[in-house]
Amino acid sequence: MRKRLLPLLLLFLTPLHLWAWGVDGHRAVGKIAEQHLSRKARREVQKLLGTETLTLVSTWPDEIRYYPEYKDTAPWHYVNTPSGLTHDQYIQQLKAQTEPNAYNVLQTKLLELKDTSKSQAERLAALKFVVHIVGDAHQPLHAGHAEDKGGNDIKLKYRGKDTNLHSLWDSGLLDYQGLTYTEMATQYNQHLPHQQVREWQKAMPEQWFWESYQASEQIYKDVPTDGDVDYKYYPAHSELMKQRIEQAGVRLAELLNKTLG
């Protein structure tokens, strides 16, 4: 019993900066995706999930990473690269990395999800990782610099509390809105033009990571020199934050439509 309680204690004691987009951000991505699934993909997703939903399983890979059997999955949540890369250099580095990361694990899990010879449990686990990694791929600091661990080493103060750049983008900005994940998904999704959705869904995963990398480059430049994030930061960056969650939701749906439809 004590062995089973230890990972749960670690889970609740772990800083929030390890939860990409925070719980509400990931669940908003899942909620938006549910609104854009095709009929066939929706049926297949429901067969795999049973009584669960895309929304609720979106945080599962964060919740299980502290159990011994999943301890090797930590690098599956991000791709770190050096700063100052051009588009071609970035894509080359992204595809050349052989150590497990968000990009190459996403490809593996998509193949497992599509493979009907796999067991129900294997395909279900693959689906949960796909849902989560797509969310991670759209959080800019999950495609940040290797030298500062995606902004984790950049210490800041936000709203009078100590934090870091990665944590600010994981949850700090989202929490400032004061919205539940359901409210967030509804508000974000209802204003999306159909043409915009179709345009975003054309992009391949490589482009998602490149977009995050580009966004992170600007985010690094916007770090206040004194480390104190003031009231101007949220309005200056909120649209980017919202767009990345919107893009993650509609692109996740399209990925599942293609894989399961």
Cα of 256 vs its chain's centroid, Å: 16
Q: Is the pLDDT of residue 85 over 80?
A: yes
Q: Is the pLDDT of residue 5 over 60?
A: no
Band of residue 2 on the pLDDT scale cut at 50, 70, 90: very low
Q: Is the pLDDT of residue 40 over 60?
A: yes
CATH code, 43? 1.10.575.10
The pTM score is 0.91
Sign of the torsion formed by the C-alpha atoms of 116, 99, 164 and 138: negative
pLDDT of 3 reads 45
Band of residue 21 on the pLDDT scale cut at 50, 70, 90: confident
Number of neighbouring beta carbons within 10 Å of residue 72: 10
**Considering only CA atoms, which of 130, 141, 247 is closest in space to residue 192?**
247
Average pLDDT over residues 135-158: 95
What mean pLDDT value characterizes the chain? 92
Q: Which domain holds residue 182?
A: 2-260
pLDDT of 66 reads 87
Number of domains in the chain: 1
pLDDT tens digits for range 223-242: 999 999 999 999 999 999 99
DSSP-derived letter for residue 116 is T
